[in-house]
């Protein structure tokens, strides 16, 4: 499958401090790619900069076309959607109105398919249909995450970037939300999934990258990463390492 989205030598700094160092990463059409790593590894920074919300250096290409500047407008125009960690819903608006806002850019561009898209979102998340007139602020954490994903799907994205969709959710809800994410592949939507929940992310992803201290420490097919002893020990909780503090480097044999 052809490459949809690619970062090369991608760096992001906060003032003088570089938080993401020389990252190479690609997402192919319809592929689910996860970025896992401990707290503070730079996952959110990487995603925000790739969406044009933070300045970056290096190259970002969309379908082999290098973008002269990475801006939110350029990314949205190419069909990239971001579901931020904080969900950022409009709490005083209904579920339905939040969804309609997600489809606003398409409506402005003259595409009048918002009802059909909303029905599709309700098909994916029947719980949102039951609660369509409820205010977003009164939804449960899981329902809020579903609404945030549903709102992004209203824009008919080619690539959906998800920042920690499992954060703060009970394990059963995490599974439900990630099953939906896995199902996006069949709808032709590629996914870049940032997760601290490495086990859940590697179960649904095709490929993964391990980000540590702003750099890619390991990458490969998700199945291989899930079996890699360093990942198992550091991120999957079967050894002494902890996902919050561990690094793959520490687990490497001295050379």
Stretch that binds ligand ATP, among 21-29, 41-49, 62-70, 101-109 (CB under 6 A): 41-49
User: What is the DSSP code (8-state) at residue 94?
Assistant: B
- Extended beta strands in the chain, E state: 3-14, 17-28, 32-36, 57-62, 65-66, 80-83, 159-163, 190-195, 207-212, 215-221
Q: CB 193 → ligand ATP: shortest distance, Å?
A: 13
- Closer residue to ligand ATP (CB): 23 or 118: 23
Contact of 68 with 241, CB cutoff 8 Å: no
Kindly state whether residue 43 participates in binding ligand ATP, applying the rule CB under 6 A. yes
Which residues in 174-213 contact ligand ATP (CB under 6 A)?
Answer: 196
Q: CB 55 → ligand ATP: shortest distance, Å?
A: 12
- Report the residue from 5, 7, 45, 103 that binds ligand ATP according to the rule CB under 6 A: 45
Q: CB 167 → ligand ATP: shortest distance, Å?
A: 8
Contact of 165 with 152, CB cutoff 8 Å: no
- The values of phi and psi at residue 144, to 5°, are -65, -40
- Report the residue from 23, 33, 41, 49 that binds ligand ATP according to the rule CB under 6 A: 41
Residues that bind ligand ATP (CB under 6 A): 14, 19, 37, 39-45, 196
């Amino acid at each position: 499958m052809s490459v949809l989205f690619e970062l090369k030598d991608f760096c992001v700094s906060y003032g003088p401090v570089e938080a993401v160092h020389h990252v190479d990463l690609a997402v192919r059409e319809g592929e689910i790619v996860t970025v896992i790593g401990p707290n503070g590894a730079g996952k959110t920074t990487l995603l925000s900069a790739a969406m044009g919300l933070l300045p970056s250096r290096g190259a970002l290409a969309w379908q082999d076309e290098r973008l002269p500047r990475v801006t939110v407008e350029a990314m949205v125009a190419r069909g990239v959607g971001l579901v931020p960690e904080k969900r950022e819903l409009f709490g005083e608006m209904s579920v339905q109105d939040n969804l309609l806002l997600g489809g606003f850019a398409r409506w402005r561009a003259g595409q009048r398919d918002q009802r059909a898209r909303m029905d599709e979102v309700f098909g994916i998340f029947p719980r949102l249909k039951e609660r369509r007139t409820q205010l977003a602020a009164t939804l449960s954490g899981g329902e809020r995450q579903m609404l945030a994903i549903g709102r992004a799907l209203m824009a008919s994205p080619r690539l959906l970037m998800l920042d920690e969709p499992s954060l703060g959710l009970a394990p059963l809800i995490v599974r439900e939300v990630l099953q939906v994410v896995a199902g996006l592949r069949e709808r032709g939507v590629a996914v870049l999934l940032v997760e601290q929940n490495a086990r859940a992310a590697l179960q649904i992803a095709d490929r993964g990258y391990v980000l540590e201290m702003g750099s890619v420490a390991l990458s490969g097919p998700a199945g291989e990463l899930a079996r890699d002893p360093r990942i198992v020990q550091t991120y999957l909780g079967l050894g002494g390492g902890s996902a919050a503090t561990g690094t793959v480097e520490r687990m490497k044999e001295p050379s």
